[in-house]
Structure 1
Amino acid sequence: MTAMAPSREEPDLSYLFDRASHVLRTRMAAALAELGLTARMHCVLVHALEEERTQIQLAELGDMDKTTMVVTVDALEKAGLAERRPSSQDRRARIIAVTPEGAKMARRSQAIVDRVHHDALDDLPAPDRATLVRLMTALVTGPLAEAVEQPQGGARRARQSG
C-alpha cells in the first residue's frame, strides 16, 4: 500500500526562499571571486568603511561566528585590504580599519554586488521588481525579522544583508 502524501494548502515558501537564496549566493560568490573576495570579505569591507566598528560588531552585522570572522579579517589583512587597530574612541577596543587599497576594492566589489542583484531581478517588469523588494523587506523587518533559537543541530542562521 502506498502512503498518500498530505495535500499542500500553502505554497512552499521554504523551498522558494531557499532556492532563490542558494542561486543568488552562488552567483555572488562566482562574481566576487573575480576580485579574489568572498561575500564575507566584501561585507566586512563595506561595513567597516561606514563607521568605526569592532570585529564583534562587524561579525554581528555579517551574521558570522567568531571563528569565521577571525578567518575573514585574517584574509583581508593578508591581502592588504584591512587591518586591526586600536579604536580612537576606546583604546581597549580594536577596530577593523580598511586600507586605501581596501576602500578601492570595496567600491569595485559593491559594483559587482549591485550588478548581481540587478541581474537577478532584471527579467521582472519594473513594477514587479519594486513590489518584490518592498514585500521582501516587509517580511524580513516584520514577521520574519527574528529567528527562533534552535537546539544544537537545528536550522542554520541566514546571513544578514551586507
Structure 2
Amino acid sequence: MTDYDLIDEAFINTSPDVVWQALIAELGGARRWWVPTNTFEAGAIPADKVGAEVHVTVHTKGVDKGGPKLKFTSRTTGVVPGRSLTTEYIDGAFRGTGDFLLEEIDGGKRTKLSMHFKGAPQGMLKMLAKVKDLGEAHSQGTQGAFANLNALVGSR
C-alpha cells in the first residue's frame, strides 16, 4: 500500500498573525488562495477549534474543469493559535494527519509556513496511487497554494 509522508513549506512575506488568519479563513471556505486545486467547506465549528470538521475537495483538473474530485473530511485535533493546527483525516479519500506550522522569521516580517501531510489513500484511490504519483500532485498543489497566499498577503 502507498502511504505518503510529505512536508511542504514556503516563506510568506508577512507576519504569522496574517498568515494564520488567511489559513483559518481558507479552511472555512474563503476560496481565496488554495483554489484551483482544493476547496474547503467548514462544518458547524470553526476550523481553529478542536473538534471542527472541514470537508475537503481536491479538484484534480481545477475547480469547474471536470475531472475526478477527491473528497475527504478533516477533524481538528490540536490548536496553538497563530502557531499550529493539527488535523486528522477521518473519512473519504484519505486517512491520516495534516499539520500546519507557522514560524516567525525576521522579527515577524516573514512567516515560514509548513504543511506535514501523512496520509493513506482509500478505496479506488489506492489503485490510482499505484500508477500515479499522488504525493507529487499533492506537493505541487500545496506549493501553488502557498505561492498564491504569498501573492495575496505578502508585502510588496
TM-score (norm 1): 0.31
* Structure with a larger share of its residues in helix: 1
TM-score (norm 2): 0.32
**Looking at both structures, which has the greater relative contact order when contacts are Cα pairs under 8 Å and sequence separation is at least 6?**
2
